[in-house]
């Protein structure tokens, strides 16, 4: 992955790819420009051994291309598309595959921004939303879809697993079963999308379960340094190209400098993530034994329930580096703990080198109606911790001293 898609000979021997900070590219001649546009706009397909030339940085740019080729390797798939944010990756994918009158089957909870986009924007333009959660059965989902004949217009199943911030898992085999049944009955094309931000690309591979597209906030683990905002999707050439085409017209592509930073971050992805995982295991054990903590939400724990454990064993390699924990008491107690941290930073976002903690109820998920929050486990006492690469004992000591304040 680290050397794929770039040859130092192309850039004066530079070991690392330079930043191609340019808006446009010079064609050798008019015929070449004509040919590049024909292919870029889908009027013609590439011949064997022909490559799409560089045109304009909203369509293609070397930094974006190098990054996308490496992301495809990490996810073990044909193609990737990079975006200026995780939300632009998600919204562009949804808009590419959904139109007014279509139905979206949507897992709950998801990241608050995705939830808002679906319920406040897509719903307003006439997309029907049917929701389900980690405990919904195959029968219940089909019943809900068929109740208002919405199975006939089902066009997308969108899932976030593990879900932000409760770490609940959605069974990807169940998702595939729903898709297959509706397709058999009605013949509608249904695209399945999984937000793989929490565990991908190294601890979970949804594409291996038949999922069509995985999407990411690349701001998180993929970058891992809290210094940029970016997004990505991965999947087959066919599925990704429809999203890339819309990206060209929405202009939501990643910028050269951001792509270059992210390419650099990918080189340490495994080192960072595996170290974060080792820290997280120690912290989960500490939290489980602490008397001021009501519940720990972490994939693979027995306390998540039998069904969740079964899904974990089937589709996750590891539990990740994101922990939810509920402190005794309500918002006041949670705020007291958050305000008492000395090392862990009180900030949203996740997956970075430094440990970050926040209060989902009043922060990232404030837009989710309170009754839904309670139903899906986002309580006032819940704190979300993203574990970094500091010394695990330092993080544990910080948690310990903050918890004594309540």
Ligand X SMILES: Cc1ncc(COP(=O)(O)O)c(C=O)c1O
Applying CB under 6 A, the residues found at the interface with ligand X are 85-87, 111, 113-114, 160, 164, 195, 197, 217, 219, 229, 231, 349
Q: What residue number has its CB nearest to ligand X?
A: 86
| Separation between Cα atoms, residue 259 and residue 389, nearest integer Å | 23
Handedness of CA 272, 73, 216, 195 (dihedral sign): negative
CB distance 104 to 140 below 8 Å: no
Q: Whole-number minimum distance, CB 27 to ligand X, in Å?
A: 34
| Complex with ligand X: residue 54 or 234, whichever CB lies closer | 234
Q: Is the dihedral of CA 128, 379, 377, 87 positive or negative?
A: positive
Cβ nearer to ligand X, comparing 216 with 286: 216
What phi-psi label fits residue 356: left (phi over 0), alpha (psi between -120 and 50 degrees) or beta? beta
Nearer to ligand X, 145 or 193 (CB): 193
Say how far apart CA 89 and CA 233 lie, in whole Å: 6
Whether a cis peptide bond, with omega within 30° of 0, leads into 369 is no
Please, what is the minimum distance in Å from the beta carbon of residue 309 to ligand X?
Answer: 22
Can you state the percent helix, strand and coil of the chain, rounding each to 5? 40, 15, 40
Write down the least CB distance from residue 350 to ligand X, Å.
6
Longest Cα–Cα distance in the chain: 73
Which C-beta is closer to ligand X: that of 117 or that of 260? Answer: 117
Residue 128 vs 386, nearer CB to ligand X = 386
Residue 42: CB minimum distance to ligand X, A: 28
CA separation for the pair 326, 20 (Å, rounded): 47
Q: Provide the minimum distance between the beta carbon of 220 and ligand X in the complex, in angstroms, as a whole number.
A: 6
Q: Shortest gap between Cβ of 197 and ligand X (angstroms)?
A: 4
Rank residues 84 and 151 by Cβ distance to ligand X and give the closer one.
84
């Amino acid at each position: 992955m680290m050397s794929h898609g770039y040859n130092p000979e192309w850039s004066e021997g530079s070991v690392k790819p330079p930043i191609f900070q340019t808006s446009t590219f010079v064609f050798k001649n008019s015929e070449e420009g004509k040919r590049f546009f024909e292919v870029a706009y889908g009027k013609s397909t590439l011949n064997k051994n022909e490559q799409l030339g560089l045109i304009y940085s909203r369509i293609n740019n070397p930094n974006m291309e190098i990054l996308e080729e490496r992301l495809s390797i990490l996810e073990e798939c044909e193609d990737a598309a990079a975006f200026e944010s995780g939300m632009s990756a998600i919204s562009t994918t949804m808009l590419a595959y959904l139109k007014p009158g279509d139905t979206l089957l949507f897992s709950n909870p998801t990241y608050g921004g995705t939830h808002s986009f679906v319920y406040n924007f897509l719903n307003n333009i006439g997309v029907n939303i049917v929701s389900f959660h980690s405990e919904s059965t195959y029968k219940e989902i089909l019943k809900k879809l068929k109740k208002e004949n919405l199975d006939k217009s089902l066009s997308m199943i969108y899932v976030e697993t593990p879900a932000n911030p409760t770490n609940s898992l959605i069974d990807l085999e169940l998702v595939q079963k729903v898709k297959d049944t509706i397709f058999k009955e009605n013949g509608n094309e249904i695209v399945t999308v999984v937000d793989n931000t929490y565990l991908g690309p190294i601890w979970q591979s949804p594409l291996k379960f038949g999922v069509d597209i995985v999407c990411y906030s690349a701001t998180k683990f993929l970058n891992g340094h809290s210094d940029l905002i970016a997004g990505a999707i991965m999947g087959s050439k066919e599925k990704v190209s429809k999203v890339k085409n819309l990206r060209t017209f929405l202009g939501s592509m990643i910028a050269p400098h951001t792509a270059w930073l992210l390419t650099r971050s990918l080189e340490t992805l495994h080192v960072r993530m595996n170290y974060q995982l080792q820290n997280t295991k120690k912290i989960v054990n500490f939290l489980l034994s602490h008397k001021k903590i009501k519940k720990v939400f972490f994939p693979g724990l027995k306390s998540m329930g039998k069904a969740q454990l079964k899904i974990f064993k089937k589709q996750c390699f590891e539990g990740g580096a994101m922990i939810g924990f509920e402190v005794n008491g309500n918002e006041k107690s949670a705020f007291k703990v958050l305000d008492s941290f000395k090392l862990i930073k009180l900030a949203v976002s996740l997956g970075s080198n430094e440990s970050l903690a926040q209060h989902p109820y009043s922060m990232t998920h404030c837009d989710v109606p309170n009754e839904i929050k309670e139903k899906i486990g986002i309580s006032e006492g819940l704190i979300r911790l993203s574990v970094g690469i500091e010394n695990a004992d330092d993080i544990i000591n910080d948690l310990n001293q903050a918890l004594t304040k309540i």
